[in-house]
């Protein structure tokens, strides 16, 4: 059966293995070769639009945000050096644009676990050094409000990734679910215990062990003296969200959709997408389900028309 560390790129219409390598596609775009830019838009348009719809509800608003995301990307293409994968990079651009829209229009969207327990975070991010800022064309793609924060986030990402990978490799998916709820969504111990159906004391002890491990990891680094431990859990949540530490690969979501995946993995991904409500992964799943439509083609042409000018200037 399919495992998460196995590559299985899927064609969005047929489910067949047929996806070009992003790095090669970006190289073709930089060399202004063929229809590479149109192909990149086609590849990511659906999942980005679905993500925006999940946050903004109105399709016209979601399409505007998607178009602006591609414009920002092509304007600052020379600054992308592969610090994160292309999908995460595009989602980060879009996420910041949605945050700006929340601030300006007071948009509210609460439905899934991730929404319910993170619903106040949008309003609190304006002065939060943990926000990832997508740069203008003349700057680096990540501009930290505090250089120390970027160092701290990298250390936390390393620590969290090791912890999550350990649970995955041992197939301890219940632990991973609990960790996601506590540190990614910020749910309380009592709520987590109720949803996972275990005793509160078990959740409390588990959280203590995980936080102790993460704190020890940070303390063993060279930056522990400057680390803001008083804001430790908030930094963990912000790091988890920006790095998408437990989001399965798109190929894994495709295998989940086709039910070509181990039962343990299937149950965990179902929790991550359906119960936890990860909007990134829900957008990917919806995009994989959808076929091309004339409406999507028209929207793709609109994106092309709005970005081609920036592309030609390069």
Mean pLDDT throughout 197-215? 94
- Please choose, from the candidates 131, 28, 30, the residue with its C-alpha nearest in 3D space to the C-alpha of residue 78: 30
Residues, the chain: 314
For residue 236, pLDDT beyond 80 = yes
d(CA 297, CA 303): 10
For residue 100, the model assigns a pLDDT of 79
Asked if residue 286 has pLDDT above 50, the reply is: yes
- Predicted confidence (pLDDT) per residue in 7-27, tens digit: 333 344 433 333 447 888 888
Burial of 217 (0-12, 13-18, 19+ CB in 10 A): middle
Average pLDDT over every residue of 133-153: 52
Could you report the per-residue pLDDT of 240-274, keeping only the tens digit for each?
A: 877 888 889 888 998 888 888 889 999 999 999 98
CATH of domain 20-145+291-314: 1.10.1740.10
H helices of 7-146, in order, are: 22-30, 36-56, 59-75, 86-105, 113-118, 121-124
pLDDT of residue 109: 45
The more confidently predicted of residues 301 and 235 is 235
Residue 270 neighbours by CB distance under 10 Å: 12
The band of 85, judged by pLDDT with boundaries at 50, 70 and 90, is confident
Q: Examine the pLDDT at 115 and tell me if it is beyond 70.
A: no
**Residue spans per domain, the chain:** 20-145+291-314
Q: Look at residue 143 in the predicted model and tell me its pLDDT.
A: 41
Alpha helices in 140-293 (DSSP H): 147-169, 173-179, 189-196, 200-219, 232-243, 250-257, 263-270, 279-289
């Amino acid at each position: 059966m399919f495992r998460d560390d196995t590559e299985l790129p899927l064609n969005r219409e047929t489910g067949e293995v047929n996806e070009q390598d992003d790095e090669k596609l970006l190289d073709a775009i930089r060399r202004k070769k063929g229809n590479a830019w149109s192909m990149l838009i086609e590849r990511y348009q659906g999942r980005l639009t679905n993500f925006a719809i999940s946050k903004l509800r109105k399709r016209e608003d979601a399409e505007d945000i998607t178009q602006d995301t591609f414009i920002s990307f092509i304007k600052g293409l020379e600054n992308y050096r592969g610090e994160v994968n292309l999908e995460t990079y595009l989602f980060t651009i879009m996420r910041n644009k949605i945050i700006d829209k929340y601030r300006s229009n007071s948009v509210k969207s609460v439905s899934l676990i991730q929404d319910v327990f993170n619903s106040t975070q949008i309003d609190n991010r304006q002065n939060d050094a943990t926000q990832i800022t997508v740069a203008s064309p003349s700057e680096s793609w990540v501009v930290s409000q505090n250089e120390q924060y970027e160092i701290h986030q990298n250390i936390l990402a390393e620590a969290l990734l090791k912890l999550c990978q350990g649970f995955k490799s041992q197939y301890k998916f219940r632990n991973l679910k609990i960790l996601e709820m506590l540190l990614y969504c910020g749910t309380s111990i009592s709520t987590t215990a109720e949803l996972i159906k275990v005793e509160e004391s078990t959740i409390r002890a588990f959280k203590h062990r995980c936080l102790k491990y993460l704190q020890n990891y940070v303390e063993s680094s060279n930056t522990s003296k400057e680390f803001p431990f008083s804001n430790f859990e908030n930094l963990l949540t912000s790091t988890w969200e920006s790095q998408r530490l437990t989001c399965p690969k798109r190929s894994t979501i495709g295998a989940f959709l086709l039910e070509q995946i181990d039962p343990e993995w299937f149950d965990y991904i179902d929790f991550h997408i359906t119960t936890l409500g990860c909007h990134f992964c829900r957008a990917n799943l919806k995009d994989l389900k959808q076929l091309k439509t004339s409406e999507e083609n028209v929207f793709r042409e609109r994106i092309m028309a709005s970005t081609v000018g920036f592309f030609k200037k390069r």
